[in-house]
Amino acid sequence: MNLLTSHWLSYRFRDGSEQQLPLTAIANPDVVDFALPRADFHGAAYQFAIGLLQTVMAPQDKYDWHERYLTPPDESALAAAFTKVEHAFELDGDGPHFMQDLDPLDAASPVPVSGLLIEAPGGNTLKLNTDHFIKRGIAETLSPEMAALALFTLQINAPAGGQGHRTGLRGGGPLTTLVLPHEEDASLWQKLWLNVQSRESWTYKDPDYHSAELFPWLGKTRISKNKGSDIYAHDVHPLAMFWAMPRRIRLLFEQQEGICQLSLKACSTVCRQYRTSNYGNNYVGTWLHPLTHYRSNPKKPDEDYLSTKGQPGGIQYKQWHSLSFVDAAEGSHPAQVIQDFLLHKSEYFYFDWGEAPRLWAFGFDMDNMKARGWYNSEFPLIRLNPDLRDELLNEIKSMQSLAQEVLWHCRTQIKAAWFDKPADAKGDTSHIDLQFWQRTQNDFFQMVAALLNAPDGRLTPEAAARWLWALSRHAKTLFDDLALSNLYPDREMYKKIRARRQLTGWLAGSKRIRQFSQDYRLDTLTEELA
Amino acid sequence: MTDTEQAVTPKALFAGESALMRWWQAMMLTEQELAALNIRPAPTVYRAELKRAGTPDAALMTQGFRALWLALPVSAREHKPWSMLAWAALAGVLSHVKQQDDSRSFAASLGKINPDIDKPKVSELRFQQLQGARTPEDFYRRLHRLIKQVNGKTHVPSLARGILDWFDEHHGQQALRPDKKIAVRWAMDYYQAAESALVKNKD
């Protein structure tokens, strides 16, 4: 099966229907999205298509880019562009296999194909029978299409997998951030093309489509058992970041009728097993994957940049400004496609409130090899007025830190209401944080909208008061919902009431809140907002 | 300042509040005080009958309750199916309240520190028994006992509203927000008033 010519991915049309078509369908203006059975596959399909477009048809400059944005190539032009790399996208057959080791790995014994799925229980879990929450048997039989997607998804997200089983180029479970048009029903082409960069904004030498420096499976794997076998960014072509292959894998296909357990479709070839070996390509050092946010240590500029990963609590607006805006002082580097969009492409778009393009962030939350969850969030992608950029960013950050502090006190008092020794109480309380971020999100973006309308990059007293009031209102109701909704008359009652009084006391009269009121001149307000 | 009931005063706390206050004052105030307010004194039988009523049902049968009920605005009377019993319970309890005091609320008057013993007028245990009442009769009996413990002095509108809300919640009309529930409001006010003594005695 060739991934550039076969009908292997499903697409959703404007009228809601779905069809399995060749990849050239992305140029069809009636196609609005991929239609895939899993969220991680959906995200992987975007990265596959974006990587491919960037590899074979990157626009020369932003004008070129914009023209293509408005008028997608027709399907035959797209097919012609794909022929250049067709040889690298065979899933099976005699030549190199897409995202699979050149070596047949005959020495490795086959393992169940479900191992490609990131949340599937690993070998030891199966042996020890400890798969209590993540169940075995989620995918014993896959169609070649789903096996290909599972393989690609694993290679781009690969978590640590035991000794010598390398993580992906961005580390295990990286966040991916993409730009989406404001309109949900924009064509898939526009959704993808927004994330393709022109050769002016991202300069690199023309790729050699037959080189393993671009597609690592075209050459021998660099076995990473011994020192000195690591792969640094300067060892490969920059575009190889889309095609990195940390795991050594060979899919095993059988000519047999079967039902794919993911797509639930009948297929005549099935994949039940694969071979894998450790010590694959080991990507180290600083990479700047174009779809991922990185952090650096501003005090130690020589240290490697670290990609941002999924973390417990999900992707909330508390990360929104980091994911959107470059902040050298804090060492925050948004994904290249986000930077490129705000810098070069934004002039073609409206940024009126409510019409702004969207920032889409998604990824696994991994605890080493264990998948804790999959996160998926969207935020408005906002352009800050360049003249006031620093002021605006500072203001957003200080509103953000106020929220962090309110949350800290809220969480502390909820724990004080729950436990006799709150400081010693261990356990995951991230659901408190999660609820707080979710409940305050609307107010946050209203505050941001008010900030963007402010003439000098400072919040007006009214808007600052509204934000403070929203935070304290939500902190109190969150406390009440979690600590007071079952108020039994017992000795816990006093503890709970005392904790609530601590919280309201802090919100009303703490030094921090008084300082905030002073800084934003809330005393000038004549009208009580509360 | 408390964020529970203080915020809504001095506006009326509930429908029928001013009629209720006039009715209660007519039973309790001296003739001179009533003359100043231009209120006619109530027949002494009102209070006598109500004080003898041992249950909300018994209070329902009294002349004093009838006078109150007829004085209430329609909005208060046609509220809910259990409104009449709630107001009867209220009439029965208020017949024991002799004086409106300066507490912020009913629950605060229970938690107020008695300076002689440096403890709340109503102990935590007794307060929690009120919070634990599950039937109107039990609730009614416990309120009587607590009124006696505060020497018949409390915040009348706050007590009245608390009783009406208790009946609403008893009949399944729970407040959506926890901080609006009567048990939570009472606990916040009680413990705020009682806190200084409780902290001293616990730690």
Is the backbone of residue A363 left (phi > 0), alpha (psi -120 to 50) or beta? left
Task: Show me where the domains of chain B are located.
Answer: 3-202
Residues B187, A487: C-beta atoms closer than 8 Å: yes
- CA A376-A382-A384 angle, to 5 degrees, is 145
A335 CB-near residues (< 8 Å, 6+ apart) = A176, A177, A178, A289, A290, A291, A292, A293, A323
Instruction: Report the chain B residue with the minimal C-alpha distance to residue A482.
Output: B178
Which of A487, A491, A498, A504 to probe by mutation at the B interface, max B CB count within 10 Å? A487
Contacts with B129 from chain A: Cβ below 8 Å: 489
What secondary structure does DSSP assign to B130-175, as a single string? Answer: HHT--SHHHHHHHHHHHHHHTTTEE-HHHHHHHHHHHHHHHTT---
For B70, the token pair is 């007829």
Interface residue of A410, A472, A474, A484 to substitute, partner B, most B CBs within 10 Å:
A484
On chain B, the residues whose CB falls within 8 A of the CB of A497 are 187-188, 191-192
For chain B, the first-to-last Cα distance in angstroms comes to 25
Contact flag B132-A485 (C-beta cutoff 8 Å): no
Q: Give me the pLDDT at residue A490, please.
A: 76
Chain A, window 96-135: residues with a beta carbon less than 8 angstroms from a chain B beta carbon: none
Contact (CB<8Å) B184/A501: no
Answer whether residue B5 shows pLDDT above 60: no
Question: Which residue in chain A has the smallest CA separation from B174?
Answer: A485
Q: Which of A253, A245, A248 is CA-nearest to residue A273?
A: A253
Q: B181 to chain A: which residues are within 8 Å by CB?
A: 484, 487
Half-sphere exposure of A304 (CA within 13 A, CB side): 13
Residue pair A77/A86 in contact (Cβ under 8 Å)? The answer is no
pTM (2 d.p.):
0.85
pLDDT digits (tens, 9 = 90+) for B30-48: 999 999 999 999 999 999 9
Distance CA A113, CA A271 (A): 7
- Closest among A32, A353, A335 to A179, alpha carbons compared: A335
Residue B123 CB neighbours (<10 A): 13
B117 in helix, strand or coil? coil
Contact by Cβ (8 Å): A202, A336: yes
Whole-Å CA distances, B15 to A310, B5, B47, B65, B174: 53, 16, 23, 17, 19
C-alpha atoms less than 13 angstroms from C-alpha of B100 in its C-beta half-sphere: 14
CB contact under 8 A, A490 and B128: yes
The encoded tokens of residue A422 equal: 């709150």
Which residue, among A371, A493, A424, has the nearest Cα to A115 in the 3D structure?
A371
Q: How far is A480 from chain B (nearest CA, A)?
A: 6
A493 touches chain B (CB under 8 A): yes
Q: Which run of H or E residues covers position A508?
A: helix A492-509
CB proximity under 8 Å: B 11-40 to A: none
Half-sphere exposure of A312 (CA within 13 A, CB side): 11
Q: Is B172 exposed, middle or buried (0-12, 13-18, 19+ CB in 10 A)?
A: exposed
A30, A187 Cβ separation under 8 angstroms: yes
Q: Which residue of B has its CA nearest to A476?
A: B179
Is B188–A497 a contact, with Cβ atoms under 8 angstroms apart?
yes
On chain B, the residues whose CB falls within 8 A of the CB of A489 are: 127-132, 183
Q: Which of A469, A500, A506, A528 to mutate to test the interface with B (most CBs of B within 10 A)?
A: A500
CATH fold for domain B3-202: Peroxidase; domain 1 (1.10.520)
Which residues 457-476 of A have a C-beta within 8 angstroms of B? 476
Predicted ipTM > 0.90: no
Would you call A492 an interface residue with chain B, using a CB distance cutoff of 8 Å? no
Beta bridge partners of A19: A11
Number of A:B CB contacts under 8 A?
A: 48
The pLDDT score that the predictor gives to residue A423 is 80
**Nearest alpha carbon to residue A447 among A469, A424, A414:** A469
Residue-level pLDDT at A311: 85
A498 at the B interface (CB within 8 A)? Answer: yes
State how far the Cα of A373 lies from the Cα of A367, in Å rounded to an integer.
10
* pLDDT at A133 (0 to 100): 62
Q: How far apart are CA A1 and CA A369, in angstroms?
A: 30
Q: What is the pLDDT of residues B93-133, one digit of tens each?
A: 999 999 998 889 999 999 999 888 889 999 999 999 999 99
Do the Cβ atoms of A84 and A209 come closer than 8 Å? yes
Chain B residue whose CA is closest to A486: B178
CB contact A504 to B (< 8 Å): yes
As a dihedral over the C-alpha atoms of residue A91, residue A96, residue A98, residue A99, rounded to 10 degrees, the angle is 130
The ranges assigned to domains in chain A are 9-277, 384-530
Q: Say yes or no for a CB contact (<8 Å) between B187 and A497.
A: yes
Beta-bridge mates of residue A373: A365
By the CB < 8 Å criterion, does A494 face chain B?
yes
For residue B10, cis peptide bond before it (omega within 30 degrees of 0)? yes
Q: Could you say which residues of chain A have pLDDT below 50?
A: 530
Contact status of B73 with chain A (Cβ, < 8 Å)? no
Nearest to B188 among A489, A490, A500 (CB): A500
A160-211 residue pLDDT tens: 888 889 999 999 999 999 999 999 999 999 999 999 999 999 999 999 999 9
Look at residue A530 in the predicted model and tell me its pLDDT: 47
